[in-house]
Amino acid sequence: MDAPSGTYRLQLTPPRFGFAEAAALAPYLKDLGVSHVHLSPVLQAAPGSTHGYDVVDHGRISAELGGEDAFTAMVGRFRSQGLRVLLGIVPNHMAFHGPAVESVLADGPKSPYAHWFDVDWDAGGGRLVPPGQGEPNYRRFFDISGLIALRQEDPDVFDATHALIIRLVRDGLVDGLRIDHLDGLTDPRAYLRRLSDRIAPGHDRSDHNASERDPERNASERGPERDTSRTRRWILVEKITARGEELPAGWVCAGTTGYDALGMVGGLFLDPAGERALTEIHARLTGRSTTFAEVERASRRHAAEHTLRPEVDRLHRVLVRARPSDDSGALRDALLELLVAIKVYRAYVVPGAGPSDQALRVLTEAARRCRAPLVPAVVREALYGDPEFVVRFQQVSAPLAAKGVEDTAFYRWSRLSALNEVGGDPARFAVAPAEFHAFCRRVAADWPLTMTTLSTHDTKRQEDVRARLAVLAEIPDAWEAAVTGWRAPSSPLEPDLEQLMWQTLVGAWPITEDRMSGYLLKAMREAKTTTNWITPNKAYEQQVLRHLHTILASRIPYEIARFVARIEPWTRANVLGQKIVQLTMPGVPDLYQGCELVGRALVDPDNRRPVDFGRRRARLARLDDNRAPGGLDDEKLLVTSRALRLRRDRPAWFAPPGPHEPLTAVGPAADHVVAFRRGRALTLATRLPATLERRGGWASTLLAPHDGRWRDVLTGYVHEGPQLDLAAVLDRLPVALLVPEGAV
């Protein structure tokens, strides 16, 4: 496997954007500089699906997207431009629809498909209970009753649901796989081993008999499998890692889909000095002094007692059967406390294999935060107990983390919503350059083909919304004054929702009322305080939306526009800075569709709106014709295309085993630049631009990479070493990508 240099995510959406439309982008994506086209799922999905994550037939490519012939033709078009394919797949669940589900609905446990699904037959009276007809008695994807989870631990289920995917890989149509929601599976490690074995070049089906008998293959004795040779396919896992958490030992993959990098890069452009001020402002504007930890705990508890109650009830029944001598109510109290206290998605305990040191640490630390007397007993059951409880405990803790934190707490606490991002921790305010460089060195050494990202189809807000909001940490007083002036004494919004509204209006400006209304409706329902998705409070929702209309019909939009214009020079530095860092740091950069220009979309469905690729083609052609950038869109496209092309054309500089070498500036503004070397390329990006401006600019701040002449591939200007004057290097753009003159 040649090392990928960059990917471009396309969100396939029938009928307006299928295989034919994707194929037409091949020349543009080649010119942009990526090596892989990153496709959303392509298997036959439920009728009317707009995303492909609700598969109904694993043996067919989506007819609505064009079918298998069109898929093959699209891949051929990509190949003609030197592009390969990274495909998203959904092993954890499928739609509650289609022949398999209908068979189980009709015949219950006697159906030949009954073993596909994790059904509590006793709770359903011997039948599969459809959505809306009672409490769900099957494992779901999170709390979505329309998505039923699959038992991929069963080899027959794996074979039936992966045969087509494996054929696409082995036939050379697909070059890598992005595994969605791996944490929902019974045993992620065994799943990755089986998948890797099946798609390995030269694999014979008879070769996997031994691994089916012992899928672990002593994986607990190995470290993480970081095989970057040609004998392995490129496999990435959608995995949220908490601070300090590592991927478990024995996972056969190249790394994650990049949320850890997103948090690191975003934090690098946040001023830690603004934390205290924004915390105090949040308390004054909301009338609350709660910490995120308090909000998170309450939100996790809400998810356990309401959103995921069917799953928790079933887990409790298993626990009671395992410990019949303990009081049922006391066991439930302990179970809920422990689930709420876990700070990661899951502990990855394999029944019968013994817990890893990491699993012991996760549950021991969680138990210390609990008071219920039977918590130690529940911990023992989760580590060493009944296999059904061991597995189900983890399959509940993972969705509880997602629903309790990212889909509830993130909408209840809005100190700075740029931090309320998938994989992020709103309580962790900023990332020091030294911490960022340490992260990059670990990636370069251990996971060089992991993915990095700034925006995905799941992010709460796109990268440049966060880049603009990051400026607020440098100007907290101005921000408080602005919001105080905009607020109405009679606002019907809950205090945190109102702060989220103002931050969203500023971060995504300009934004239409329709888009903002859709976002606010989703935000207040996700918060689940006054309204929710199941029993919406229509009266409150209408009050909120009427108040938004009143705001947008007043003079406030003009004031928002003036505020945004005032901070735009600093926003520009953050937009370009975080982009060039993501594109050149260790790992493989992933671009979400359209974000080669300024990306200010909000959470889905806003971020799945059609992308104007014609506009992007025309802008790139003008830049390639040596036209000067005509604004921030052009500047971001320039940074994106030139960095991607350099990675593609000089793989020895960026691909494994290339290291990450931090560079240190000297002078009064040294803290305002992040700089590092990849091969013979130097990346420079401005940090904390508002503070830099207040202190008078770069003054005599210097960087001394080496003797010689350095050309900036973004501007074409040449700078003389051995010392580089940052005021000169960063005069035209707040970022630079330098190479030795004549090297490119």
Q: Are residues 309 and 245 in the same domain?
A: no
Residue 178 bridge partners (DSSP): 88, 236
What is the pLDDT confidence band of residue 213, given thresholds at 50, 70 and 90? very low
What is the model's pLDDT at position 15? 93
Q: Are residues 191 and 317 in the same domain?
A: no
Residue 351 lies in a domain: yes
Q: Are residues 301 and 364 in the same domain?
A: yes
Instruction: Provide the angle, in degrees to the nearest 10, between the axes of the packed helices 476-486 and 275-286.
Output: 20
What is the pLDDT confidence band of residue 742, given thresholds at 50, 70 and 90? confident
Q: Are residues 71 and 185 in the same domain?
A: yes
Q: Are residues 206 and 318 in the same domain?
A: no
Residue 517 lies in a domain: no
**pLDDT tens digit sequence for 264-293:** 999 999 999 999 999 999 999 999 988 999
What is the model's pLDDT at position 210? 42
The domain boundary, picked from 210, 235, 257, lies at: 257
The domain boundary, picked from 360, 377, 411, lies at: 411
Percent of the chain whose pLDDT exceeds 70: 96
CB neighbours of 381 closer than 8 A, spacing ≥ 6? 319, 322, 323, 389, 390, 393
Residue 511 lies in a domain: no
The domain boundary, picked from 386, 411, 436, lies at: 411
Q: Are residues 219 and 304 in the same domain?
A: no
What is the model's pLDDT at position 204? 56
**pLDDT tens digit sequence for 591-626:** 999 999 999 999 999 999 999 999 999 999 999 999
What is the model's pLDDT at position 705? 81
Residue 20 lies in a domain: yes
Q: Are residues 239 and 295 in the same domain?
A: no
Residue 648 lies in a domain: no
**pLDDT tens digit sequence for 21-37:** 999 999 999 999 999 99
Contact 19, 65 (CB under 8 A): yes
What is the model's pLDDT at position 203? 60
The amino acid that residue 316 corresponds to is H
What is the model's pLDDT at position 212? 47
| Residue 493 vs residues 278, 412, 502, 535: alpha-carbon distances, Å | 20, 12, 11, 18
Please state the rounded mean pLDDT for residues 655-665.
Answer: 95
d(CA 464, CA 398): 29
d(CA 596, CA 612): 12
Q: Are residues 88 and 185 in the same domain?
A: yes
Q: What residue numbers bound the domain in which 64 lies?
A: 7-96+152-257
d(CA 690, CA 605): 33
Tokens at 351, concatenated = 């029944």
Residue 493 lies in a domain: no
Whose tokens are 């039923």? That residue is 148
Q: Are residues 238 and 166 in the same domain?
A: yes
Distance of CA 130 to the CA centre of its chain: 31
Q: Read off the CATH number of the domain in which 14 is found.
A: 3.20.20.80
| Residue 569 vs residues 17, 181, 566, 572, 730: alpha-carbon distances, Å | 35, 38, 7, 5, 14
Measure the CA dihedral 236/238/243/245, to 10°: -60
What is the model's pLDDT at position 1? 52
Among candidate residues 584, 588, 651, the one with its CA nearest the CA of residue 178: 588
In the sheet with 84-89, reading across from the earlier edge strand, the strands are 255-256, 234-237, 176-179, 84-89, 36-39, 7-10, 588-592, 451-453
**pLDDT tens digit sequence for 320-367:** 999 999 999 999 999 999 999 999 999 999 998 889 999 999 999 999
Please state the rounded mean pLDDT for residues 70-78.
Answer: 98
Q: Are residues 395 and 251 in the same domain?
A: no
**pLDDT tens digit sequence for 196-209:** 999 987 665 544 44
Q: Give this prediction's pTM.
A: 0.95
| Residue 584 vs residues 244, 357, 434, 590: alpha-carbon distances, Å | 23, 34, 17, 11
Residue 105 lies in a domain: no
Residue 417 lies in a domain: no
Indicate whether 216 pLDDT > 60: no
What is the model's pLDDT at position 214? 45
Q: Are residues 166 and 306 in the same domain?
A: no
Cis peptide before 495 (omega within 30 of 0): no
d(CA 473, CA 276): 9
Q: Are residues 303 and 404 in the same domain?
A: yes
What is the pLDDT confidence band of residue 174, given thresholds at 50, 70 and 90? very high
Tokens at 642, concatenated = 């030139």
Q: Write down the number of H helices and E strands in the chain.
A: 27, 21
Indicate whether 714 pLDDT > 60: yes
Contact 587, 255 (CB under 8 A): yes
**pLDDT tens digit sequence for 108-158:** 999 999 999 999 999 999 999 999 999 999 999 999 999 999 999 999 999
The amino acid that residue 7 corresponds to is T
Number of domains in the chain: 2
